[in-house]
Structure 1
């Protein structure tokens, strides 16, 4: 079903206020809301709401929100073409190279050069196409650690699309556990694992935390990779220590440059030793050892 874009023109201050009001009213509907700066010098902003279904009713609700916010201008309406926007977005995603790895979509299989380790990942419901500094940094660190230390097993915690688990399995034929708290992500991860021909090495599982028995069954791990966010990574430091094998390695990412020291402090408090940090696009990937 094609979507309809309902949009207004206003100033920056009003746009922020209207965006917040629309977000509150339409939160349960799940309609995307966006603000676009049309002309900075003239302070022209465009606020859009993307909806389908009974557009007339949605427009009436939107008009009521605008009236409460003091906006009296007209609401524009644009019917968008019925396009698979996920597939469309892939057309503009070029392959990402990180060390020997190249992460690509199905439309760019021909771009893989001899000697490269190809990982085919489609942008979809789970995070991790390789087009983000955290994922690319992890791939570079994984190549260095796996080839240098030759771990016997590995865990990809918060696997998303499973790109990191696939990378480990393509470098070394070892058991890799790939877990996520989101069952949709786990399904996508399993599909990507099969697509990349490493299903015999990578097991995917939905697990909310380290209390899940799957970790005890497969661990302790010689290598744990976790590309999540700084705050949960800091909270997980004691459990990471408990599930890492002696002399094992930990690769952490999803961390902003300014969060680097705080994450290091959390892990050094658990007797981890900092080995190396990669910086990429304002993000860091950290290698630690017990």
Structure 2
């Protein structure tokens, strides 16, 4: 069965959310609606609706005009086996000593690497995105320098690929958290699939807002692969939970946003150790002053 998408953009969160609410009252009713701030620094918000039947384009045009949005672009998406498609498109990724792969590529794991199995159905945190890849490369560099933390936190863990990478190398206390319980469930499934069950504690939490995260602090290493806004909002809390002389690996940062994030963290008491850009995304390695 084909799926129909209707997409538009407009400036302002409140207006975008109001348009999203109005779309819910359409006939035929959308099967899903998404309202997202675009990550290009434009200040625009994208509103998308998904339909199993062709949408009423006249109604969409009226809604766009009423909310001062651009005209909706309606597209028909043919039925696709997305897991099979992802398996074809996502080749294994090597990041330093780490090798991220799906079970369909289990025969391709090279000797001498640290394997990390992430199934193709898990679209986020597979290692193909510049943010995850940048974090793995930053981690590999710390390992090369002989760094050995006693405690690690992976904030906004997604698939927990970063927490698992740390668990492959170090016998440390490792906690992984995400604001989304689905991500926590995925993280736990991935730990089991990688033979790391019990090595990482997975928690549902916003930032460090969980008693287990707070009691295990301070952390010698903190991963935060999220986005610029949450990274800046989290900065004081991250600083408090990072040990003196400890490291923070931050990503989810568009290249043009990196200077602003560095400025915020340096003002708190971090030194910039390194920055690495992969396509549009920058990964920062920071060290808290002792």
Deviation at 1:111, TM superposition (A): 1.3
In the alignment, which residue of structure 2 is the partner of 1:144?
A: 141
Which of 52, 62, 65 aligns to 2:60? It is 65
TM-score, normalized by length of structure 1? 0.77
In the alignment, which residue of structure 2 is the partner of 1:215?
A: 213
5+ residue gaps, structure 1, are: 8-14, 34-47, 71-75
TM-score, normalized by length of structure 2? 0.77
- The 1-side partners of 2:149 and 2:225 are apart by 19
3-state SS of the aligned residue for 2:184? helix
Which of 97, 106, 111 aligns to 1:109? It is 106
3-state SS of the aligned residue for 1:150? coil
In the alignment, which residue of structure 1 is the partner of 2:281?
A: 283
CA displacement, residues 121-160 of structure 1 (integer Å, 9 cap, x when unaligned): 1244562111111110100111122452111110000000
Deviation at 1:51, TM superposition (A): 2.7
- The 1-side partners of 2:5 and 2:273 are apart by 52
Deviation at 1:95, TM superposition (A): 0.7
3-state SS of the aligned residue for 1:149? coil
3-state SS of the aligned residue for 2:132? helix
Deviation at 1:27, TM superposition (A): 5.1
**How many positions carry a matched residue from both structures?**
256
Larger radius of gyration: 1
Equivalences for 1:15-94 in 2 at 5 Å? 26=23, 29-31=30-32, 51-52=51-52, 55=53, 59=55, 61-66=56-61, 80-81=78-79, 83-94=80-91
**Is 2:193 the counterpart of 1:195?**
yes
**Is 2:155 the counterpart of 1:157?**
yes
CA displacement, residues 25-49 of structure 1 (integer Å, 9 cap, x when unaligned): 545734479xxxxxxxxxxxxxx97
The alignment yields a C-alpha RMSD, in angstroms, of 3.1
5+ residue gaps, structure 2, are: 10-15, 35-47, 66-73
Deviation at 1:193, TM superposition (A): 1.0
CA contact (8 A) 1:91 1:107 kept: no
In the alignment, which residue of structure 1 is the partner of 2:132?
A: 135
In the alignment, which residue of structure 2 is the partner of 1:181?
A: 179
- The 2-side partners of 1:164 and 1:231 are apart by 21
